[in-house]
Amino acid sequence: MKGRELAFVICLFVGVTVGLSGYISTPIINSISSELLSWGVVLGAFALTLGLLNSIRIHGGRIARRHGTPGDRVFSAVLLGMMAIATVVGLAKGTTSDQYQFIYKTFLTPLDGTIFALIAFFIASAAWRAFIARNSDAAILLVTATIVMLGRAPIGELITRALPEATAWIMDIPNMAAQRGIIIGAALGSIALGLRILLGIERSYLGRG
């Protein structure tokens, strides 16, 4: 059996077993499924090494081959330097040590929060573009979004009691109907995709083998 066929057989076995464990409860299926999921976690940890190597190759190559602008190379050097420091401290002192926690809380957490906070501005600019009533669809979006936003804020009720009621109607009837339609369609689509993979119709992820 060639590598590609073997990988497909493993995929079929794992997919069917773990899939069945969602509906059928027998000791053998439960134990095999739980074991396979544990192996998945282990494989995920190995994959992290591949990610590390990918980053070292790309950023190390950029510095060594002098690709990109000087600024790009500085960013790559900072990335590789921080990666090395965090790895060494984590391995030497452990991830619960004060030193590792200092790196985590002083660099990672604030940077994480900063990027998260930017979303507010991105949403505002996306809303500005979306709410320009270029056609009837955009006009409907503008009107409904205005009603829902006012209906959800205290000022909406001060303007008129009809606003919260209209908001509740929009959210519970047309919005809920559309959401359920999307959920049903997506669920059916994911089953069809799963079958394409399990039946070997979609195999591009298996490589050349």
Partner 1 sequence: MSDKGVKRVLIAGSQFAFGVLIVLTFSIVYCIQIARSGGKIPTFRRIPGIEAVPEAIGRAAEMGRPVMYNPGIAGLTTDTAAQTYAALEVLAYVGQLCAKYDTELIVTIRNAEVLPVAEEVVMNAYVAAGKADQYSPDSVRYISPFQFGYVSGVLGMIEREKPAAYLLLGAFWSESPSYIEAANGVGALQIGGTANLHQIQFLVAGCDYTLIGEELFAAGAYVADNRAKLGSIWGQDIGKIVAVLLIVVGSISAWLKSDWLTKLVSK
- Among residues 1, 96, 154, 207, the one that binds partner 1 under rule CB under 8 A: 207
Q: How many residues does the chain have?
A: 209
CB of 197 to partner 1, least distance (A): 6
Measure the CA–CA gap between 185 and 10, rounded to whole angstroms.
29
Please give the residues from 24 up to 43 whose contact with partner 1 meets the rule CB under 8 A: 24-26, 37, 40, 43
Task: Print the binding letters for residues 149-188 with partner 1: x by CB under 8 A, - otherwise.
Answer: ------------------------------x--xxxxx-x
CA atoms within 13 A on the CB side of 156: 16
Structure tokens at 28: 């053998």
Measure the CA–CA gap between 202 and 209, rounded to whole angstroms.
15
Decide if residue 64 touches partner 1 (CB under 8 A): no
The dihedral over CA atoms of 146, 151, 157, 160, expressed in degrees to the nearest 10, equals 50
Decide if residue 191 touches partner 1 (CB under 8 A): yes
Measure the CA–CA gap between 33 and 120, rounded to whole angstroms.
41
Binding residues for partner 1, per CB under 8 A? 22-26, 37, 40, 43-44, 47-48, 50-52, 54-55, 57-58, 61, 68, 72, 75, 108, 111-113, 115-116, 118-119, 122-123, 125-127, 129-130, 141, 179, 182-186, 188-197, 199, 201-202, 204-208
